[in-house]
Structure 1
Amino acid sequence: MATAGAVLLAGTGVYLHTTLHGKLRIWQRELDRAGLSGDERLLDLGCGRGAVLIEAARRLPRGQAVGVDLWSGEDQSGNRPEATLANAAAAGVADRVEVRTADMTELPFADDSFDVVTSALAIHNIPTSASRYRAVDEAMRVLRPGGQLIIADFWPMARKYAAHIGQGTLRGLGPGYWYSGPWLGVTLLHTVKKG
């Protein structure tokens, strides 16, 4: 009983660290690794209240960060476009952030519209595997040749997305992006769209 309690307490601590600090630090690192020049057009799928979207916008002084979401409060509390725009304003990047209501499986953008497409723990919320694959296909469709796809999701999902598109590298993001323990760890799928 004492062991189970200790494991539960430790898992709660890991979850809180990831939610409050870890995932943001990891996205800062991964966006830095992407080597953005500052004038890109970036799309964030399932942007929620804008954590990744705003971090991306900070790196795009001459670019644009577009976030799409269905704004479900079920997946994230307080999830609405006004909250995301308020967060962007508070971060001083509102001039380069746009949010739209859109379904990841039917993106309202032309082919080859973005230099980078990101998604943080959003695609797995789509209820069917066929629809999740459709979202990944849509991300690839709107990405220009030579553009980067950067998806962070639970490891079984990230592996399936990579297998579906037949390309990309997978990398575990470590304890900073665990939800209670390694069994709920997040993996990064990174790929560059072939021309």
Structure 2
Amino acid sequence: MPARARYGVDAPPVLVGLASAAVFLIAATVVTAVLAGWVAILPGLLALYFVASASLYLHTTKRGKFAVWREILDGLALRGDERALDLGCGRGAVLIAVARRLPAGQATGVDLWRSVDQSGNSPAVTEANATAEGVRVSLDTADMTALPYPDESFDLVVSSMAIHNIHPAAGRLTAVDEALRVLRPGGRLVIADISATKAYASHLDALGLSATTRPLGWRMWWGGPWLPTALVTVVKP
């Protein structure tokens, strides 16, 4: 039987925290129900909240983001011969989806391969996933704020849930600048991220570019509507 691609879990400590809180509160509900009856309503409601939040987070990381990115990439109407770069590619969920659409092109992914950002994150795992999915990709270990590529090297630069991990915040805008630097004129920058997307769009607008931002809906809610994902896109003049 051929190997199956395995994409892990985004930010596993967050999911562990949500699941642990749910388990603790379920236990507290049972104990409180035995000792104090109706008082168990409060921990019970909190338990339901954390169960729902953990379930939604798991759906987003295992299914939702794949469906959303499929629609995003289909909407780009790629020719198939582009050179594309994925910033913070992780285990290859978006990188491999891009590579499928580039039969005559090239898809390159960069990452620092930190397991806190994605479980089991490593170039070997990403390469194995690409092989299992029947595509070829290039992988580099690199910092998004100092990309090891010449100016105007790529027709498309994408990033999914990665740039917000850069600290301090000024480094995130440096990563956006680097993405623009390696992008060819007429090329597209497509970033899906959480809280920092307004800052990316404002930065792009300040550079004289016309960035568009839109929410990506419940399938990319990370635990609930209080942590949604938005998409920022721009075409380099």
TM bin, normalised by shorter chain, reads: over 0.9
- In structure 1, C-alpha distance between the alignment counterparts of 2:49 and 2:115, rounded to whole Å: 29
**Residue identity matched to 1:40:** E
Aligned pair partner of 1:152 in 192, 195, 198:
192
Bigger proportion of residues as strand: 1
1:45 counterpart = 2:72: no
1:153 and 1:75 map into 2 onto residues whose CA distance is 13
For residues 4 and 80 of structure 1, what CA distance do their matches in structure 2 show?
Answer: 36
The answer as to 2:216 corresponding to 1:173 is yes
Normalising by structure 2, we get a TM-score of 0.79
Aligned residue number for residue 191 of structure 1: 234
The answer on 1:122 being equivalent to 2:167 is: no
Task: Name the Cα RMSD after superposition.
Answer: 0.9
CA distance in 2, matches of 1:75, 1:21: 17
Quick one: distance in 1 between partners of 2:156 and 2:174? Answer: 18
The one-character-per-residue Cα deviations of 1:25-83 (angstroms, maximum 9, x if unpaired) are: 10111011111010000000000010000000000000000000111122112111111
Equivalent of 1:164 in 203, 214, 230: 203
Q: Name the aligned partner's letter for residue 198 of structure 2.
A: R
Aligned partner of 2:138 in structure 1 is 98
Query: Does 2:124 align with 1:85?
Result: no
User: Counterparts of 2:76 and 2:197 in 1: how far apart (Å)?
Assistant: 18
SS of the residue corresponding to residue 113 of structure 2 reads coil
Unaligned runs of 5+ in 1: none
Which residue identity lines up with residue 78 of structure 1 in the other structure? G
**Cα deviation code 1:141-186 (max 9, x no counterpart):** 11111111000000x3011001011131101000000011111100
Aligned-pair identity (%): 55
One-letter identity of the residue aligned with 2:78: L
* Larger Rg computed on CA atoms: 2
Give the aligned partner of residue 66 of structure 2.
Answer: 24
CA distance in 2, matches of 1:35, 1:128: 35
Name which of 163, 168, 180 aligns with 1:140: 180
Quote the residue 2:18 is aligned against.
none
SS at the partner of 1:182?
coil
Offset, 1:138: 0.1
- CA separation in 1, counterparts of 2:233 and 2:88? 17
Aligned match of 1:10 = 52
Amino acid at match of 1:118: V
Aligned to 1:60: 102
Distance 2:64 2:211 in 1: 24
TM-score of the superposition, structure 1-length normalised?
A: 0.95
Name the residue aligned to 2:14.
none
